[in-house]
Amino acid sequence: MRADRGVRGRVGDSLRWHLRASAQQARRASACVRAVIHFRLNQGTPGIRRRAACLVRNSGDAPDRYNSRTARQAFDVAQIVGHCLLICFLNRLHQSLPMPFRPIQSFTRKRLSDVVSDQIKQLISEGTLMPGDRLPAERDLATQLGVSRPSLREALIRLEADGYIETSGRGGFTVVDVTAPIISKPLAELLLQNPRTSADILELRQGLESISTAYAAQRATAADLEKISEAFDALKAASLSQDRANLAELDAAFHLAIADSTHNVALAHVMHGIHTLIREGMRQYHRLIDYDDAMEKQLMSQHQAIYDAVMARDAQKARKAAERHLTYVRELYQDDAANPSASVIS
């Protein structure tokens, strides 16, 4: 509480200073903010750096006007006036691009609700909308499509009934993985009936992982690489922690982030379709190695090799790293094949 009061006091003093500031002082403060943006240009993802550079250019001052000392001084000033807001803004800015919904012509012969649902289905099928993506708020989506809210609502109800979207916990709609019910349930039942079929799942995983990792290295955008980095950082932190309860979920999230970066709609949907199966297999597998730090360290080293190859955009190295990883896991499974309760999928 004392620290909070100190922060509030400094912010209050800063606000009072700005209220008393002259026009010249205000211009200097604006220059400080631009210098802070320049100071952050060498930090963060490529997308953030590009947008920060655009902000600097649009402000009327070139980044090279500020040397590192000026930027550091500006950074210190910004700490007092709330530089965290600026950094959060830069981190969020790259996620604020409008979704690619096209306005619908009002003179179409089809019902507007049918045209709306067809467009959303197309965006899902071509991979523009991926499983887990949230649709814009109803009012915003109606504006982007140029239709009335009743027509939009009718289309959304139909899409939900057909299984393309579902109501999310925070309100609104989220894209559903349309392949999951088709793929996961039969394979999961087969795996539960005969745990030895885990070898077949591993064989499938090895092929999918090697292909998706190579494609991701070739095709991933800056935003894709950021998502992969976030998933890998979370996985690495969990592997180093004493509490590894969520390690299986984070492991799956890392592999799926790579699959989403392939920009191959069929491959991404298949990977998401077997996600439940992969997650259950990983959960059983990580329980087997939960107390084996050496084995967990070896697996993390393999994930690191996959991550490094994708970030370096080396498709051949990425493919080999994924193959080595799954080969190692298959060897672990063979060693543990005598235990019928073991299902090794990583």
Q: What's the pLDDT tens digit per position in 287-342? A: 555 557 788 889 999 999 999 999 999 999 999 999 999 998 888 777 665 554 44
Range scoring the smallest mean pLDDT among 101-105, 186-190, 245-249: 186-190
Give whichever of 15-24, 101-110, 223-232 has the largest mean pLDDT: 223-232
> For tokens 């057909």, what's the residue?
162
Q: Where are the domains of the chain?
A: 2-93, 112-175, 180-335
Pairwise pLDDT comparison (101 vs 28), residue with the higher score: 101
Task: Find the length of the chain.
Answer: 346
Is pLDDT of 67 > 50?
no
In sequence order, which residues have a C-beta less than 8 Å from that of residue 217 and are 6 or more positions away? 309, 310, 312, 313, 314, 315, 317, 318
The whole-number pLDDT of residue 35 equals: 47
Q: Which residue has the tokens 């499974």?
A: 333
**Can you say whether residue 102 is alpha, beta or left, with left for phi > 0 and alpha for psi between -120 and 50 degrees?**
beta
pLDDT above 90 for 176: no
| Domain at 112-175, CATH from 1.10.10.10, 3.40.720.10, 1.20.120.1230, 3.60.150.10 | 1.10.10.10
User: Which CATH number is 180-335's, of 3.50.50.60, 1.20.120.530, 1.50.10.20, 1.20.120.1200?
Assistant: 1.20.120.530
DSSP state of 105: P
Instruction: Measure the CA–CA gap between 218 and 195, rounded to whole angstroms.
Output: 35
Tokens coding 234: 């979370």
Of 339, 309, 336, 340, nearest to 324 (Cα)? 309
Among 18-22, 205-209, 253-257, name the one with the lowest average pLDDT: 18-22
If you search the block for the tokens 């590009």, which residue do you land on? Answer: 50
CB atoms within 10 A of CB 86: 18
